[in-house]
Amino acid sequence: MSQLFGMSTATAETVKEQRPQDVMKKVVALCKRRGFIFQSSDIYGGLKSAYDYGPLGVELKRNVMAEWWQDMVHQREDVFGIDASIIMKPDVWVASGHAGGFADPLVDCHISKERFRADKAPKRKVGDELPIACADKGQAKQYQDAIHERFGVELIRKGKDLHGLKVIEAGTIGFFPEGAESPTHTFPFRGYVSPCIGSPFLSEERQFNLMFRTALGAIDPTAEASAVLADLVQADDLLEAVKEKFARDIKNFRKWKEKGSPAPEPSASVIPRTLEKIEEEKVPDADLRRTLIQAVLEHVSKPAMCYLRPETAQAMFVQFKNVLDSTSAKIPFGIAQQGKSFRNEVTVEHFIFRSVEFEQMEMEFFCEPGTQAHWMNYWKDERMRWWQQYANYPDHFRFRTHDEDELAHYADGCFDVEYLYPWGWDELEGIASRTDHDLHEHEEHSGTKLRYVDPEKEDPKTGEKPWSYRPYVIEPAAGLTRGVLVYLLDAYHEEERRTAKGDTEVRTVLKLHPRLAPIKCAVLPLVKNKPEFPEKAREVIKAMLAAGVPAKYDDKGAIGRRYAKHDEIGTPFCITIDGQTLEDGTVTIRYRDTTEQERIAVQDAVKEVQALLSKL
């Protein structure tokens, strides 16, 4: 990069000096103040984990998308882009495993109100003590009072921890007052405690689906389900009434299981699968009625139900054959897509890092079986190169190799590109070797062959041409919204400077890579009360816009404040129209990162900015 934008020479030590400890808090405040990112529905109190991108934020986001698309699609001959529908046929999510695998058991802590996944909670065994670890003494007193009021025991408070609970047998905990050898009270125990404070006072497990559901069609499916249910609940024996009402679906389901007949639609399997669980005594008697009612509602309404996609990847697998046939592509080749995805995240955190609505930049690269290791290494290097080239601090990116127990059963390798966020290293992009798993599953469920035929190669099994095979896949999957956050954090700097009067001031500057900056150039008349200054500035801004340079005219406030404003929003160049401009036809161009200025001919302003951008 130009010496005027010396971003690539910064080090981890430099960032400690230039980025404040509370950088996340300051970036969030800047985003709202300057129009990068707003809380959704802000005037109504905001909607948790939903964000709107303002005038500057949408430009930054689009610039990141455009750079990715340019690098992944436009500069290559072997990658093709698509833009698939957010809503797909539910069968897609059954085949991909999302319809089953995205349903997780959730539990609430009665004391802290924390909600968490039961399968990820810390386990405790017989004999373990169960201290409840609070944030401070005040919270310990608050939780002690809440437990006493709800459960009738006063735990022993020692500093910020509460003591006295112990697992006495599987499924049971006891309260032991100080010095007691036997419990005075016992409570049911689920075998685990809440992750944050270690509380065993928990709600029942409830299913939580990570996919957003909606319905296709003008008729509300819940109305039909309610009508069916209203009749069923009048029966003396709800179980028998359900069996009678859905006898046909139950019969078809059993024929499929016993004789291998065509699999029933997923919507016709809810009641039969629920009855299987009841017959296997997996549903407690106390939960029988509630389970049946829920199953009926699901069974009747499911034919109209569909999902907002939880990822963009599956459309690229589903459209593999159409892309292959329409482009005559040859292996290896890729299909790329950018777009929104939706997940009912259990935990939303860190601003736009994890939210329920987010955007992705993904590519599925189809290659010959046996070559996946080569392409995995290739795409690892390519993706790291891409992230680092726009960063001030390239050493804030690293690879993390997934351990064996982290890998999906079908994957033969996976790496994360991680970034050093204010809270530590965390994921930015995943690069996975998915074998032929996805194409295989969609082939099995759809009945459509998803294969590539190579007429020049022999089939390894038969030794004859052609070779028809399901390609293996390397998947670089990046988070666009996380990328926006990463570059905002990377760019935010505070620098101490001396003013003309000798005072010390802090300059806030957003050192965005110029190609990512929302505004490339600001055109500033030195004063606006002399018509010739704004007139000349308007001529320059008109020429900039005509040349396709995203530029802004700005005449509000003193020139120093305008410089400071554009430093804060990341504008790399400011062109100022002053008295000398009217005398000799030159303007000053100011460089954001160094604050250096030089004079150039006004007629060369557009070409100069374009040249600077093209070099970076």
Task: Look at the block and give the residue holding tokens 């599953």.
Answer: 441
Tell me, what amino acid is at 464? E
What are the distances in angstroms from CA 456 to CA 406, 441, 451, 452, 453? 38, 27, 15, 12, 9
For residue 156, what pLDDT is reported? 95
For residue 347, what pLDDT is reported? 66
Residue 256 φ then ψ, to 5°: -65, -45
Are 538 and 481 contacting, i.e. CB atoms less than 8 angstroms apart? no
Ranges of CATH 3.40.50.800 domains, the chain: 519-615
For residue 16, what pLDDT is reported? 45
| Nearest CA among 387, 341, 334 for reference residue 363 | 334
Burial class (CB in 10 A: 0-12, 13-18, 19+), 239: middle
Tell me, what amino acid is at 586? T
| DSSP E strand boundaries for 445-518 | 452-454, 467-469, 472-479, 492-498, 504-510
Which residues does 106 contact at the CB level (< 8 Å), separation at least 6?
Answer: 115, 116, 117, 118, 205, 206, 207, 208, 346
Tell me, what amino acid is at 293? I
What phi-psi label fits residue 265: left (phi over 0), alpha (psi between -120 and 50 degrees) or beta? beta
Question: The domain 519-615 belongs to what CATH superfamily?
Answer: Anticodon-binding domain (3.40.50.800)
For residue 577, what pLDDT is reported? 97
Q: SS3 breakdown of the chain: % helix, strand, coil, rounded to 5?
A: 40, 25, 35
Within a 10 A sphere around the Cβ of 558, how many other Cβ atoms?
Answer: 10
For residue 2, what pLDDT is reported? 41
* Structure tokens that stand for 53 in this block: 């991108």
For residue 263, what pLDDT is reported? 59
Which residues does 205 contact at the CB level (< 8 Å), separation at least 6?
Answer: 105, 106, 107, 118, 190
Are 363 and 485 contacting, i.e. CB atoms less than 8 angstroms apart? no
Bridge-based pairing state of the strands 551-553 and 521-525: parallel
Residues in the chain with pLDDT values less than 50: 1-3, 6-17
Whole-angstrom Cα Rg for the chain:
31
* Structure tokens that stand for 247 in this block: 């006898």
* Structure tokens that stand for 530 in this block: 């002399």
| Nearest CA among 475, 481, 482 for reference residue 96 | 475
Q: Check whether the bond before 466 is cis (ω within 30° of 0).
A: yes
* CA atoms of 456 and 493, how far apart (whole Å): 57
Task: Look at the block and give the residue holding tokens 């997996």.
Answer: 282
Question: The domain 3-94+310-488 belongs to what CATH superfamily?
Answer: Bira Bifunctional Protein; Domain 2 (3.30.930.10)
* Structure tokens that stand for 237 in this block: 């024996």
pTM over 0.85: no
Are 205 and 123 contacting, i.e. CB atoms less than 8 angstroms apart? no
Tell me, what amino acid is at 393? Y
What are the distances in angstroms from CA 380 to CA 73, 399, 432? 17, 9, 9
Q: What is the 3-state secondary structure (H, E, C) of 79-132?
A: EEECCCCCEECHHHHHHHCHHHHCEEEEEEECCCCCEEEHHHCCECCCCCECCE
Are 453 and 468 contacting, i.e. CB atoms less than 8 angstroms apart? yes
Ranges of CATH 3.30.930.10 domains, the chain: 3-94+310-488
- Concatenating the DSSP letter of every residue in 267-288 gives GGSHHHHHHHHHHTT-S-GGGH
* Structure tokens that stand for 577 in this block: 């129209």
Residue 554 φ then ψ, to 5°: -145, 120
Q: Residue 175 forms beta bridges with which residues?
A: 165, 185
Helix (H, G, I), strand (E, B) or coil at 250: helix
Q: Which DSSP letter does residue 409 get?
A: T
* CA atoms of 588 and 611, how far apart (whole Å): 16
- Concatenating the DSSP letter of every residue in 211-249 gives SEEEE-SSS-HHHHHHHHHHHHTTSS-HHHHHHHHTHHH
| Nearest CA among 7, 13, 15 for reference residue 388 | 7
| Nearest CA among 294, 255, 302, 259 for reference residue 274 | 294
Which residues does 407 contact at the CB level (< 8 Å), separation at least 6?
Answer: 413, 414
What are the distances in angstroms from CA 370 to CA 144, 241, 366? 60, 55, 12
Which residues does 249 contact at the CB level (< 8 Å), separation at least 6?
Answer: 264, 268, 269, 271, 272, 299
